[in-house]
Amino acid sequence: MTVDRFSLGGSTNSVAYRVPKWRVPDLILLVVVLLVNLPVYFLPPFERQFYVNDLTISHPYALHQRVDDTMLFFYSLVLPCGVICAVWSLLCDRRHRWYVLYVSLLGLFLSIFTTSLLTNFLKNWFGRLRPDFIDRCQPRPNLPINVLLHASEACTNDNKDVLLEGFRTTPSGHASESFAGLGYLYLWLCGQLLTEHAQVGLWRKFVAAIPLLGASLIALSRTQDYRHHFVDILIGSIIGYISAYVFYRKNFPPIANQVPFKPLLDDSDVTFDIAPNGSIYNGNNTNYRPVRAQPVDEEMGHIDTTNTTL
């Protein structure tokens, strides 16, 4: 028995297949990711052995972080949502505005929460020690040096949450989630602002890249607080940006596409054209009238202005 490749045995009469533009399976996936995320985070991490005289994990434990979890949630999710809604309200054509907002936010949420799930799983699986682990551990006095020890035999800290967090350093969640959210916003702004178009100013690319600068600063702040090693934020940043790219491209064409702001499954008649005379037509101007390029009289060296309109 051969299973249909498109439906994989499911009913082609369902909403998911009759109206694919609304990405119903992706919406269901988002709900599943949200439900699984929390229990995965609270799984006990692998407790790796350590040396009490290891200087790479002997930095002080910072009580106040430069970017705490609440601030990370705001910068990586709330802020991108706000910017998307603001730009959407200014630029989006009414013929497809609500669909653009739906797929834009769906991609953003999938990018962030899928990245968070993967990051939390890897953190617990690796069990690598944070730079401030010894301060979290509060080791017993007179322990032998250059001898591998377990936390159960070396640490005196009764706060198990703080101690176990010390085994969750790779990859950096702040780095991965900030690049998943702000990296997605960068790609989305590039598409909406036509940054790759030859006839627009370079300043648009600079504006679109501001979220990437913010994500980089958030990631680097984790080394300043001694919460992560540099390799942690590097791995986290790569995971986050790849996730942002994958989920952005699931719904939108490449940012260098002729119509980069229009979702892939958008069935509206919104388009974007360049008129032959160099003027821009974005589908909103009903008075647009294409103009034929003006031919040059090679003998006289001037422009022939006769019969130039269609």
What residues are labeled active site?
174, 228
Q: Which amino acid is at 99?
A: Y
Residue 42 backbone phi and psi in degrees, to 5: -90, 5
**Residue 213: count of CB within 10 angstroms of its CB:** 12
**Can you tell me the distance from the alpha carbon of 276 to that of 293, in angstroms, rounded to the nearest whole number?**
6
Residues in the chain: 310
Q: Alpha-carbon Rg of the chain, whole angstroms?
A: 26
- Count CA within 13 A, CB hemisphere, residue 269: 3
